Amino acid sequence: MAMQMAMQSGQAMAGMGMAKGGMLMTMYPGLPLLWSGTALAAMALVTLLALRTGAGTLGGRWWVLSRLPAVGPLLRWLATRPAVLVGLRLVAVALFLLVIATGLFGNQIPQRNLATMLTWTFWWTGVIISVLVVGSAWCAICPWDALANLLVRQRIWGRAHMPLSLELRVPRWLRNTWPALAMFVGLTWLELGFGITTSPYGTAVLALIMVVLATLSMALFERKAFCHYFCAVGRTLGAYSTVAPVAVRPVDTDVCARCKTLECYHGTGEVEPCPTHLVMGRLRENTFCISCGACAIACPKQNVAWRARPLGSELALDVRPRWDHAWFILGLVALTSFHGFTMMPFWESWMSRLAQWLGDSGQLLWSFSIGMTGALLLPIGLFALAIWVTRRLLGNRLSFRRLFAIFALPTLPLAFSYHLAHNLTHLVRESAGFGSVLANPFGVGAKPLSMAERMADLWMPMDLLFTLQTALIVLGFWLAMRVLRQRASRLPPKGTAMTLVQRLPVTLYLLVMAGFNLWLLMQPMIMRM
């Protein structure tokens, strides 16, 4: 019954398509009251339990996946065979080159072109979902890095003994996540302000720009500075991977403790050094690991493997709070919500009114820029206010900067869960006709999808989509509260625990942001394609 009502509502809303740039934009309904009410009730219960109970724990047993029966030998074989990684990289490069070709020379209807469909509907959704299964492993087969390797090091994998690179050390002022945050904000501005996601040509040009940036970085700096410091996608996956239930870690920590040669860091004659300057025996967090497999292949003891652990345990226990990393996390919180906000029916009317007030003509870029700036600063400003109040309640015994860095960590699951839920909307509702796009990637002779085709080609039942989105929002809020309780139970400098009142401002912030993300999912949304 709920499914039938959702489809009927979707058909009614589809008839309210909005014109934008001459293209009909389809509107779909949001979460029904049944699901949103369930999520609110669950969040209320989680909040009450968090306020009434102690710190709890997110720690627990780690499992070495390569020791599992049946699949363990296969995982060990895959982890130590460069040919597997090289093959996957070549597939990624081939698809990437096809995206560029179809974007530049194919039909410019976004629903009929492989560039826009594959990049924004499938890749960007799939790469975020993949974090739950393989952490940041996408970075290991990234076509931007693979092509940069071919151009600068004349190989797609392995150690280059005479690279066409200056091998400079990255300046100290760039050794942080500020460049990646700036890139993320810039990409969002291009994506939503210029409508890159609905332009096959713009998508292809952006893809080429990313290859140029990766190549220039590799030609100037040592190792993989682009992956380590500059890449917005890599840093996003690195942050989300601290929540993931899998990680690349030592099989036996004692073996690493006795190691004197550190092949995982220095590499070998054929295997490159760790691209992001990590030593496996000292690795505590996924933030900068790109899962490239070099350490697993270089280790003479075969002491590196994929390990499973409780969801969110690394973020709660091991991630070191850093000022720049905290800003990147808050940027993720704000930017993921902003993406959903711009899909609201009222967003365009707000921008039009602002443009009239400003006298902004043309593409409304000034209006959009002002709206985007306000939308990003508001959640960060509210977080800063919560930290200021928390500091006062703590008697000013810790600096604002320190508290900001510590309590930014619990907000990360909110960004991750909403990012997944939001991207599922795009995947389910914008993938109509993908089979015909695969058969005709350049869209030769293709025409725009009709409303009936859009609604009839949904590959996932709406009930299932709503269930997954509700579960993700509740799971993200639960993880956020667990991480907050862990961090608040051992506050520096002496590991003292915060009282219920002292952690109340951050608790309220988490509740407000999770509630806002849930509200976004409840609203009818205008699809990009």
**What mean pLDDT value characterizes the chain?**
87
Distance from C-alpha of 313 to C-alpha of 244, rounded to nearest angstrom: 9
pLDDT of res. 7: 37
What are the E-state strand segments in 281-359? 304-308
The pair phi, psi for residue 152, each rounded to 5°, is -100, -40
- For tokens 């690179």, name the residue: 165
> At residue 199, does pLDDT exceed 50?
yes
Q: Phi-psi bin for 246: left (phi > 0), alpha (psi -120 to 50), beta?
A: beta
DSSP β-bridge partners for residue 247:
307
Q: pLDDT, tens digit, for every residue of 137-158?
A: 899 999 999 999 999 998 888 8
Residue 189, token pair as written in the block: 């501005």
| Nearest C-alpha neighbor of 93 from the set 101, 187, 31, 479 | 101
Kindly indicate the confidence band of residue 19, based on its pLDDT and cuts at 50, 70 and 90.
very low
Lowest-pLDDT choice from 14-23, 128-137, 175-184, 345-354: 14-23
Task: Determine the 3-state secondary structure of 89 from DSSP.
Answer: helix
Residue 487, token pair as written in the block: 């961090």
**Which is higher by pLDDT, 21 or 511?**
511
> At residue 315, does pLDDT exceed 90?
yes
Kindly indicate the confidence band of residue 50, based on its pLDDT and cuts at 50, 70 and 90.
confident
With pLDDT > 90 as the criterion, what percentage of the chain qualifies?
A: 60
Buried b (16+ CB within 10 A) or exposed e, 81-104: eeeebbeebeebbeebebbbebbe
Mean pLDDT of 441-454: 75
DSSP β-bridge partners for residue 19:
24
DSSP 221: B
Instruction: List all residues 6 or more positions away from 6 whose beta carbon is below 8 Å from its beta carbon.
Output: 29, 32, 462, 463, 466
DSSP 229: I
Distance from C-alpha of 348 to C-alpha of 460, rounded to nearest angstrom: 29
Mean pLDDT of 312-317: 92
pLDDT of res. 54: 57
Q: Is residue 197 within 8 Å of residue 122, measured between CB atoms?
A: no
Mean pLDDT of 181-201: 92
- For tokens 């993931």, name the residue: 244
Lowest-pLDDT choice from 159-163, 219-223, 287-291: 159-163
The pair phi, psi for residue 102, each rounded to 5°, is -70, -35
State the DSSP H helix or E strand holding residue 324, giving kind and residue range, or none if neither. helix 323-341
pLDDT of res. 461: 84
Alpha helices in 449-496 (DSSP H): 451-456, 462-489
**Which is higher by pLDDT, 524 or 57?**
524
Buried b (16+ CB within 10 A) or exposed e, 504-516: bbbbebbbebbee
pLDDT of res. 261: 93
Mean pLDDT of 251-278: 92
pTM for the full model? 0.91
Distance from C-alpha of 265 to C-alpha of 294, rounded to nearest angstrom: 9
State the DSSP H helix or E strand holding residue 512, giving kind and residue range, or none if neither. helix 504-522
> What is the amino acid identity at position 332?
L
Task: Determine the 3-state secondary structure of 23 from DSSP.
Answer: strand
What is the DSSP pairing of strand 304-308 with strand 63-64? antiparallel
Q: pLDDT, tens digit, for every residue of 405-439?
A: 999 999 999 999 999 999 998 888 888 778 888 99
pLDDT of res. 152: 94
Q: Is residue 286 within 8 Å of residue 247, measured between CB atoms?
A: yes
pLDDT of res. 158: 83
Lowest-pLDDT choice from 92-106, 119-133, 332-346, 353-367: 353-367
pLDDT of res. 57: 57
The pair phi, psi for residue 496, each rounded to 5°, is -75, 155
Q: How many CB atoms lie within 10 A of CB 448?
A: 15
pLDDT of res. 5: 36
Mean pLDDT of 347-376: 86
Kindly indicate the confidence band of residue 24, based on its pLDDT and cuts at 50, 70 and 90.
very low
pLDDT of res. 362: 67
Task: Determine the 3-state secondary structure of 162 from DSSP.
Answer: coil
Distance from C-alpha of 515 to C-alpha of 493, rounded to nearest angstrom: 33
Kindly indicate the confidence band of residue 207, based on its pLDDT and cuts at 50, 70 and 90.
very high
Q: pLDDT, tens digit, for every residue of 391-403?
A: 999 998 899 999 9
In order of 218, 256, 383, 507, 516, the CA distances from 512 in angstroms are 42, 44, 10, 9, 6
> At residue 195, does pLDDT exceed 70?
yes
Q: pLDDT, tens digit, for every residue of 459-489?
A: 778 889 999 999 999 999 999 999 999 999 8
pLDDT of res. 117: 93
